[in-house]
Chain A
Amino acid sequence: MADVLRVEVVSAEGITWDGEALSVIARTTEGDLGVLPGHEPFLAALVPCAAEVLTADGNREVLALDGGFISVADNRVSVLSQFAKVAKEIDLKAAEHELAAAEKRLNAGELDDETRQHYLRAQAQVRAATLAKQSN
């Protein structure tokens, strides 16, 4: 069997997901990035997105990231994201609610960083949760 990736997704509150994977897809500041085993050492900044991990046993795991970093070295992938969440654990309704609230604030003219961060985080969570639903 070919090499596998050791993936670790850590958030500020602990390890969100870890395990072996065949590929990892995430969105960096430059665009979507797919990591396969044997990838060269790599460090990139992420933007809020729904990341996908194809696990070694053939499942697809979707994670909501709110930016952060991905680093790859020696088939070890670590994703660092402050509020990383596994899509299956996201309450879609609550996330949608949050997204709507953030959108409202943005439309009301609160264009500060914090509101934008909230909006993007909620958007990533909604996207991830929807994606996870589709694949099931």
Chain B
Amino acid sequence: MPASLRELRQRRKSVTATKKITRAMELIASSRIIKAQQVAARALPFTRELNRAVSAVANKSRLDHPLTRDVENPQRVAVLFITSDRGMNGAYSSNVIKTVAGVRQRLHEEGREIVRYVVGRKGIGFLKYRGLPIEAHWQGFSDAPSYDRAVEISDRLLEDFLKPTEEGGVDEIWAVYTRMESMLTQTPRVRRLLPLEVVEGVQEADAEHPEPLYLFEPDPETVLDALLPLYIRSRVWFYLLQSAASQLASQQRAMKSATDNAQQLIERLTREANAARQSEITQEISEIVGGASALADLTEND
């Protein structure tokens, strides 16, 4: 029992304070996940309608559009990755960063250059610390994104995508975000944002519900022109929302285990403090007894 009683009590007090904080953060995170999930659910109809519209146009026209055209031998590849603004959410940001490192490795082996677009202070800090170049970054909304932000990000990406490579444009855009599988699992995902692969959105027309033959105004190409940027925005919006929900879920989990650890620490410290107090008392008693008997010996000898 090396530590003194006073020291042990002090440490227990400080751990109790920490536990209160982590406990509060856990509760805040869990109430905000529900909100984040509701927002994510509300964004679904928009995506659904967009998919339907894109597939309607795709059935009609040949879908040859600058945004869907594959670039032969892409040189510069943009990677958008979504991290958190603050820590205290376990491995959330570092999982994304690790995934990006994997993507970078792969692209590097194929002889391509990576251009980084970052969301979230953690990712920005990571790159800045290592002196890696950042093409564009956004921060301050990782746990509660707004649609305006999605517009901002996707417009920037589109602008760079449509620029020729020689002038600093990019040939492909990938996104790394964290998908909210459930409250317990969130996995980083890598998706290609541009050029678009619309094929997945095209539904097979079945015999009973044939795809209606739409009339386009003014014509399919113009509609597609206006449709695809919206589609990109809705993808980015979806990624932001998923990431926000994942971030909160992983924060809740991290804070829960921090609270549990603090609880364990408190128990151990209490036990140590009790033992220390007990041994102090024992020592005192034996000192008194020893002193008394020494005194008694003295008087007897007189």
Chain A contacts to B: CB under 8 angstroms: 8, 10-15, 28-30, 33, 40-45, 67-69, 71, 73-74, 78, 80, 82-83, 114
- Interface residues, chain B, with chain A CB atoms under 8 Å away: 39, 42-43, 45-46, 49-50, 52-53, 56-57, 147, 150-151, 155, 212-218, 222-223, 226-227, 230, 233-234, 237
Give the Cβ gap from B232 to chain A, nearest Cβ, in Å. 12
Query: Would you call B237 and A69 a contact (CB within 8 A)?
Result: no
Q: Is the CB of A15 within 8 A of B42?
A: yes
Q: Which residues of B contact A41 (CB under 8 A)?
A: 212-215
Neighbour of A10 across the interface among B45, B147, B212, B237, CB < 8 A? B45
Q: B residues within 8 A CB of A80? A: 46, 49-50, 53, 230
Q: How far is the CA of A30 from the CA of B57 in the complex (A)?
A: 18
Q: List 20 A-B contacts (CB under 8 A).
A: A10-B46, A14-B43, A15-B45, A29-B222, A41-B214, A42-B215, A43-B53, A43-B216, A45-B222, A45-B227, A69-B53, A69-B223, A71-B49, A71-B52, A71-B53, A71-B56, A73-B214, A80-B46, A80-B230, A82-B233
Task: Select B43's contact among A8, A13, A44, beta carbons within 8 Å.
Answer: A13
Q: Which 3 A-B pairs have the closest CB atoms?
A: A14-B42, A41-B212, A44-B217
Whether A30 lies near B218 (C-beta < 8 A) is yes
Max chain A Cβ within 10 angstroms of own Cβ: one of B45, B50, B147, B223: B45
Chain B contacts for A13, CB-based, 8 A: 39, 42-43, 46, 147
B234→A12 contact, CB < 8 A: yes
Chain A residues positioned under 8 Å from B216 (CB to CB) = 42-44
State which of A15, A33, A45, A83 has its C-beta within 8 Å of the C-beta of B226.
Answer: A45
**B226: which A residues are within 8 A, CB to CB?**
45, 67, 69
Chain A residues near B45 (CB, 8 Å)? 8, 10, 14-15
State the Cβ distance, B42 to closest chain A Cβ, in Å. Answer: 3
For the complex, would chain A's binding face be called helix, strand, loop or mixed by DSSP majority?
strand
Contact A43 B233, CB 8 Å, known A13-B42, A13-B43, A30-B218: no
**Least CB separation from B215: chain A residue:** A42
List of B residues within 8 angstroms of A11 by Cβ: 46
Q: Is the CB of B52 within 8 A of A28?
A: no
With A12-B150, A71-B214, A74-B212: A45-B53 Cβ-Cβ less than 8 Å: no
Q: Please give the distance in Å from A30's CB to the nearest CB on chain B.
A: 5
Q: Once the chains bind, are B215 and A43 in contact (CB under 8 Å)?
A: yes
**Cβ contact within 8 Å between B147 and A43:** no
A8: B residues at CB distance < 8 A? 45, 49
- Asked if A42 contacts B214 (CB within 8 A), the reply is yes
Q: Smallest distance from the beta carbon of A32 to chain B beta carbons, Å?
A: 12
Question: Do residues B43 and A43 form an inter-chain contact, with CB atoms below 8 A?
Answer: no
Give chain B residues whose Cβ lies under 8 Å from the Cβ of A73: 212, 214
Among A12, A68, A74, which residue has its beta carbon within 8 angstroms of that of B237? A12
User: Is A10 a contact of B39 with CB atoms below 8 Å?
Assistant: no
B230 close to A43 (CB less than 8 A)? no
